[in-house]
Structures are given as C-alpha cells and as structure tokens.
Amino acid sequence: MSHILFALLSLFSFPALLEAQWKLRENVYVIESEWNDVTPAKRVKLTCNTPDEALPVYWKKGTELKGTGKTFIAEVKEFPDAGNYTCLRADTHEIISYEFFLITKVDSNGQMIRSMLRSFEEPNRTFLKCEAKNYSGIFKCSWMTENESPNVKFTIRSLKGSQGDVTCSSPVAHTDESVTEYTAQCQKENYCPFAEEHQPIEMFLEVIDEVEYENYTSSFFIRDIIKPDPPQCQYVATNGTVTWTYPRTWSTPKSYFPLTFRVKAESTEEHKIQVEVYEAEEQSFQIPIAGPKTRISVQARDRYYNSSWSEWSSLCR
C-alpha cells in the first residue's frame, strides 16, 4: 500500500542553532515546536551543500522564494513552516541540496504531545500493543488510528540490545468503521524459548503524517506478552464432559510449557443469563449441571506465568 512506508530509520543528535532537533535520516530533521501561541518560532540555520563560496544560490520552499546566499535562517513554528527547503543555483536553477523539516508538538515541559494514534483500552490504554502466541520469539505489534490517512507513514523497529535484533514485516491495515488498525509481524533473532530473558525487547514506532512526527515505544519480555490461541474443544453429552486439546500454535513440549484452563458454562433461565466459570489443570472437565442449551467454551493461559488468557474458544458443541 502506497500510504505505508516501512524503512529503517536512525535517530542521532544534530548540533545546530536548535537544541530540540533530531536527524531522522539524511537531509530529514525533526523539530520540537512548543505548541502554544506565545512561544516564538525556532530558528534553523540551513547551509547549501556547495564548496564554492562565490556561487550564487537561492532557497525555495515549494514554489516560494525564501532567500539567497549559501546560508539561510528558517523560522519554524507551525506545520506550514515545515516541509522541503531546497537550495538551487541562481544561473541554471539546478538543485544543489535540500533539507526537509518535520514538526513534533511538545508541551511547556518539552514532552511530546501524541495525538495521531488511538489507544487500546487493554492493556493500560497503550498505543503500541504487542502479543505473542507462544515462546518462539515471533510476535505481532498493533496500533490504531481514528481513520486511514492516505499520507500517514509508519516505521517500526527495535532499539538494539545485547541480546539480538528484531525484524518486522511491513504493516498491514485493517479498517473497521472509523478505526484503522495496523499490524506488523516481528521476530526476535536467535531467541531461545528455554532460556531465561534478562533484557526486555524495546520496540519503537515512528508515525509521520505529511510534516507531523510522533513516536511511541513499548518495552517487554516475551513472557509478558504471551496470549495463547484458544484450545479446540468438544462436549460429550452422555456424561456432561468437555474435553479439549492444546492450541496448535502453542510451544512444545507441553510438559515444559504447560497451560492452565478455564471452562465457561453459559445458560439462559427465565430470561436471565447465568454464567459459571471453572478452573481446570487437565484437558477435560465434567460440567456439574449442563442443560441441552448450555453454551460451553474454554480458554487457556500459561500455567506458571501470569500472562494473558486466550480468547474463549468457539462453542464446544
């Protein structure tokens, strides 16, 4: 999709007139703008990339002439001030160099104002949610926008640590009414499911919408983001027993990666819904009272670590 950009970008400090400025990639910079009506614009010094000091040059932003000379001071405050500043030869109008400015909004304390993503209610109203079905080192990360902008671009990557890097696929968009959810599949290289994790994975998401920039982070161990797929279950009506098997996507051997289970029996009596939930360690459970219309389903969770419960399975009968 043309509106998705997936590339590796690096952040470096950039000494210039501004302290609140980052080099995102070659010729592309992020400027922190204090988002109020009283703070003055940031003054940014641009230098044309030519060794000839005597060469006549001029600066343009779009079609607007901004100034002449090898150096130029741009004042950047609001979104119309951002964008592409180009240095051209005065005689041939040939492009010599350019610098592109993005704006990130900050408050009076210098904290980034984040508004482009919509938060997930669970867990803890996070903006960047990552989940793993097992201990293979493969996981997915998701984020949401209120609506799908044709100009928004995303970059998701890991902040490298001593325990190896993470690679991610290009994000895929799924639109549901007014919300668009993006998902990227990621894998931690050289991950050992049997070894204890000592350093968390640091995921870093950058969001660019034309000239606006925001970033989001998520830090976790694989064990913290485990959410198994639901078990596959069936119900034996003769003795009221429900049985199930481990999810096909779960880690093996199951003796080393055991699951614990919940069994839900839901029935309707006199227009009232009654729900009973039972705990189970084994792969079968006898429902104490199950009528012919009782709806039964099962969910699973890592037995030894307090990770997330799976979704409920499809009905067992």
Identify the pLDDT of residue 148: 64
- The confidence score (pLDDT) of residue 12 equals 31
* pLDDT score recorded for residue 124: 74
> Order of strands, edge to edge, in the sheet holding 241-245?
232-236, 241-245, 284-286
pTM: 0.82
Predicted pLDDT at 224: 94
3-state secondary structure 161-195: ECCECEEECCCEEEEECCEEEEEEEEEECCCCCCC
Per-residue pLDDT tens, the chain, 317 aa: give them. 334 333 333 333 333 344 457 889 999 999 999 999 889 999 999 999 999 999 999 999 999 999 999 999 999 999 999 999 999 999 999 999 999 999 999 999 999 999 999 999 876 779 999 999 999 999 999 999 987 677 899 999 998 754 558 999 999 999 887 889 999 999 998 899 999 888 899 999 999 999 999 999 999 999 999 999 999 999 888 888 999 999 999 999 999 999 999 999 998 877 788 899 999 999 999 998 777 888 999 999 999 998 899 999 999 98
Q: Which residues contact 253 (CB under 8 A, 6 or more apart)?
A: none
What whole-number distance in Å separates Cα of residue 115 and Cα of residue 185? Answer: 24
Let me know how many helices (H) and strands (E) the chain has, helices first: 0, 23
* pLDDT score, position 229: 98
Give the tens place of pLDDT for each residue, 29-76: 999 999 998 899 999 999 999 999 999 999 999 999 999 999 999 999
What's the pLDDT score for residue 164? Answer: 58
Under 8 Å between Cβ of 130 and 121: no
